[in-house]
Amino acid sequence: MCGIIGYVGTQDAKKALVDGLQTLEYRGYDSAGISFFTDNKIKTIKKVGKVSNLRENVKASASDMESHCGIGHTRWATHGGVSDTNSHPHTAGKVTLIHNGIIENYKELQDELAEKGVFPVSQTDSEIAAMVINDLYDGNPEEAIRLGTAKLKGAYGFCIMFEDIPDTIYAIRSGSPLVAAHTEKGSLIASDMVALVSYTKQYFVLKEGHLAKITKDEIIVKDEFGDIYGPTIHHISWDVGAAKKGGYDYFMMKEIHEQPESLRNTIKPRFINGLPDFTDDGVPDSLFEGIDKIVITACGTAMHAGLIGKNMIERLARIPVTVEIASEFRYQNPIINEKTLIITISQSGETADTLAAIALAKEHGCKTLSVVNVKQSSIARESDYVLYTHAGPEVAVASTKAYSVQLSVMYLLAFKLALITGNVSENKIREYTAEFADIANKVEETLSYDNQSENIAKRLAKAEDIFFIGRGLDYMLSCEGSLKLKEISYIHSEAYAAGELKHGTISLITDNVPVIALATQPDVYAKVISNVQEVRSRGAKVILITDSDASVDASLCDHQIVLPETSPIFTPFLSVVILQYLAYYVAVEKGLNVDQPRNLAKSVTVE
Ligand code: M6R
């Protein structure tokens, strides 16, 4: 959720921190702040608004202050409204800290401190954590952090500075991610690798409960017993340019255009002799043997990829699959056991609810497999097996390329499972995979539909409600199209199984209400067309997306988009590009910040 960074080294810490926060801004953009040592004192500057606003403030009030050590934070507000006071860093006595996560028992701790006559100035749970650590501090920082964090319930990633220990940062985490690196220019710690990549490609993940002491010359990590621990160094496989806009107005558009490459990187290495193979991923076929059902659990867009995964696995492998929203799954007392394969899907690999679903699955003895984009993320580490998607960093809050590659892995899994169950012949699977191996090129072709999509989007931008309808795969894709649109354009939108309209929703269709209908599946094509006629006769403006084989009576819709030629099972990869474009261009037409929609953050590390 929030973005955090710490820097100590030879460079100007203020600049390093503000630049780092700029790369982390997608994690939260309610306010931003930094604290840094200058003249052996800690100076804090924090402001409501974007990092650019903080940058101006730092320039105006601190450009002559020398500093080589500091911490910075970009906030997604949870406890306490959006204000300068509630912004991070928070200071209590000698302690200044930044926090990503939620301290659940902050009220009780606040009451304890009140009895000692200590009161917070903000409404945040994070300031209470600073007060707790300060209360226990008598010159031994590690002891105060250990004793203090032992009192906290909830999730946290902290970077902490002590007023009387200059040019040193301490960091500890529970639940919220922290990665760190030591480089020639100094040492860094952050909530995400994107903040490190302009310094180095080597990093390590701070483990749960480990405590790091970060200075210019080294990072010393101690485990929960106080023993020095040598962390495993990982390598960032993408380039610094991957986390920059590269000439596009918004990251979202850049990431839409990166879909063909992301698909190639994700699919190609997993074909051997025309058949899906997960050997290099360390995922053995035996994982799939003896399972009697699959539960896919995820949130948001990742959950929508799961819906299509269910359709493909059930269709090809005939194994029963349910798709559960991770935040619901946890509290449903699900019927799962050692014969259940739990598949979690996540771009960030840090989504708190999805992570909790894995913990629950493990308690029930289930096998766990995750489909994750961020290497070494918490979900990847907690799962028994991982299939990484290779989309590179996704910065726009609205997920695009991550969705496509998640879909591609679900298709690979469906092919693999169909072979294992023997439900589809090897020859037929080879036919599918031969076409699938070319899907990135088809997606590339669909990218040329931008002008057409933009023209349609301009007409949609004034709508107050927009409906998406479809059947089967098209319905599942409609869910994603609708989420994308409402997320970044703030237009109310809903996705409906086209046949379900008559059971309530059709009462909302009045003159000029836009309906985006997907009709790419031959087995239900005629049915969807009937549903289109039903909404048209009630005044709806219909945008119809069809496959290349469909012959449509021109009077049936206001606009038709015909996808490049492909087999019906692969149309989701193409249709989604159109839906992403429509959402994007509607938001641009409305003058909105496409990459940072209000109230949202990229990585949802709180439950
Ligand atoms: O990082 P994850 O894939 O676990 O995130 C899950 C959702 O928060 C995410 O897919 C969200 O719905 C998208 N940003 C929407 O575009």
Q: Is the dihedral of CA 381, 382, 386, 388 positive or negative?
A: negative
- Cα–Cα distance list, 123 to 18, 85, 158, 216, 217 (Å): 25, 8, 18, 34, 37
Please indicate whether residue 59 is annotated as part of the active site: no
State whether 285 and 193 are in the same domain.
no
Q: Is residue 473 part of a domain?
A: yes
- For residue 398 and ligand 1, the question of a CB distance below 6 A is answered with yes
Write the pLDDT tens digit of every residue in 568-585: 999 999 999 999 999 999
By most ligand atoms within 8 Å of CB, the mutation choice from 176, 348, 350 for ligand 1 is: 348
Shortest-distance Cα residue to atom 7 of ligand 1:
300
The structure's pTM equals 0.88
Provide the 8-state DSSP code for 233: P
Smallest CA-to-CA distance from 486 within 301, 243, 274, 249 is with: 301
CATH number at residue 226: 3.60.20.10
The sign of the dihedral angle between the CA atoms of 483, 348, 27, 173 is: positive
* 215 and 268 housed in the same domain: no
Tokens for 577?
A: 């590009």
Tell which atom from ligand 1 comes closest to the C-alpha of 303.
10
One domain, residues 63 and 7: yes
Interval between CA 304 and ligand 1 midpoint (Å) = 10
Domain boundaries, position 236? 3-245
Q: Is 514 helix (H, G, I), strand (E, B) or coil?
A: strand
Backbone angles phi, psi at 539, to 5 degrees: 100, 0
Query: Other C-beta atoms within 10 Å of 274: how many?
Result: 14
| Residue ID of nearest Cα to ligand 1 atom 4 | 346
Residue 560 CA to residue 563 CA, distance in Å, equals 10
**Nearest to 293, CA basis, from 353, 329, 335:** 335
Give me the CATH number covering residue 529: 3.40.50.10490
Of 27, 375, 399, best ligand 1 pocket probe by most atoms within 8 Å of the beta carbon: 399
H-run or E-run covering 256: helix 251-257
Q: Are residues 16 and 51 in the same domain?
A: yes
Q: Which of 234, 204, 235 shows the shortest CA–CA distance to 221? A: 204
370 Cβ below 6 A of ligand 1: no
Residue among 43, 416, 541, 602 flagged as catalytic? 602
Alpha helix positions (H), 346-400: 352-363, 378-382
- Which range has the top average pLDDT, 233-237, 331-335, 455-459? 455-459
Mean pLDDT of 35-61: 96
pLDDT per residue as tens digits for the range 237-274: 877 677 788 899 999 999 999 999 999 999 999 999 99
Give the mutation target among 377, 604, 607 for probing the ligand 1 site: most ligand atoms within 8 A of CB: 604
Residue 536 has pLDDT above 80, yes or no: yes
- Cis ω for the linkage preceding 89 (within 30 of 0): yes
Please tell me whether residues 315 and 222 are part of one structural domain: no
Mean pLDDT of the chain: 94
From the CB of 149, is ligand 1 less than 6 Å away? Answer: no
Q: Annotated catalytic residue: which of 2, 69, 366, 557?
A: 2
* Radius of gyration (C-alpha) of the chain in whole angstroms: 25
Does 493 share its domain with 551?
A: yes
* Residue at 606 is within a domain: no
Asked whether 176 and 605 are in contact (CB, 8 A), the reply is yes
Note whether 273 and 378 are same-domain residues. Answer: yes
CA–CA distance, 117 with 193 (Å, rounded to integer): 41
* In a domain? residue 500: yes
Is the beta carbon of 389 within 6 A of some atom in ligand 1? no
Residue 599 lies in a domain: no
- Strands in 514-519's sheet, in edge-to-edge order, are 492-497, 465-470, 514-519, 541-546, 559-562
- The sheet with strand 219-222 has its strands ordered as 90-92, 95-103, 154-162, 169-174, 211-214, 219-222
Question: 64-99: b or e for each residue (b if 16 or more CB lie within 10 Å)?
Answer: ebebbbbbbbbbbbbbbeebebbbbbbbbebbbbbb
Between the CA of 303 and the centroid of ligand 1 the distance, in Å, is 8
357 lines ligand 1 (CB under 6 A): no
Residue 257, classed as helix, strand or coil, is: helix
Cα 298 to ligand 1 centroid, rounded to whole Å:
9
pLDDT confidence of 549, banded at 50, 70, 90? confident
Is the CB–ligand 1 distance for residue 297 below 6 Å?
no
Q: Which of 385, 411, 437 is the last residue of a domain?
A: 437
Q: Does 551 lie in the same domain as 511?
A: yes
What does the alpha-carbon distance between residue 537 and residue 556 come to, in Å, rounded to a whole number? 10
pLDDT at 511: 92
State yes or no: pLDDT of 552 exceeds 90.
Answer: no
**CA–CA distance, 583 with 510 (Å, rounded to integer):** 22
Is pLDDT of 82 > 90? yes
319 plus 173 within the same structural domain: no
Class of residue 388 by CB neighbours under 10 A (exposed 0-12, middle 13-18, buried 19+): buried
Query: What is the predicted pLDDT for the residue at 286?
Result: 95
Residue 469 counted as domain residue: yes
Quick one: DSSP state of residue 523? G
Question: 229 C-alpha vs ligand 1 centroid, how far in Å?
Answer: 33
Query: What pLDDT sits at residue 111?
Result: 96
What ligand 1 atom has the least distance to the C-alpha of 351?
A: 4
CA distances from 550 to 313, 451, 518, 525 (A): 26, 22, 11, 8
Q: Among 586, 327, 285, which Cα is nearest to 422's? A: 285
Are 83 and 32 in contact by the 8 Å Cβ rule? The answer is: no
Same domain, yes or no: 219 and 117: yes
pLDDT classification of 601: cutoffs 50, 70, 90: confident
With beta carbons less than 8 A apart as the criterion, state whether 73 and 29 touch.
Answer: no
Mark whether 488 and 411 lie in a shared domain: no
- Residue 375 a catalytic site member: no
Q: Report CA(238)–ligand 1 centroid distance (Å).
A: 21
Domains contained in the chain, number: 3
**Would the CB of 348 count as within 6 Å of ligand 1?**
yes
Distance in Å, CA 345 to ligand 1 centroid: 9
Distance, CA of 468 to CA of 601 (rounded, Å): 25
What are the residues whose beta carbons fall under 8 Å from the beta carbon of 351, sequence distance 6 or more? 298, 299, 302, 326, 379, 603, 604, 605
Section 52-62 average pLDDT: 95
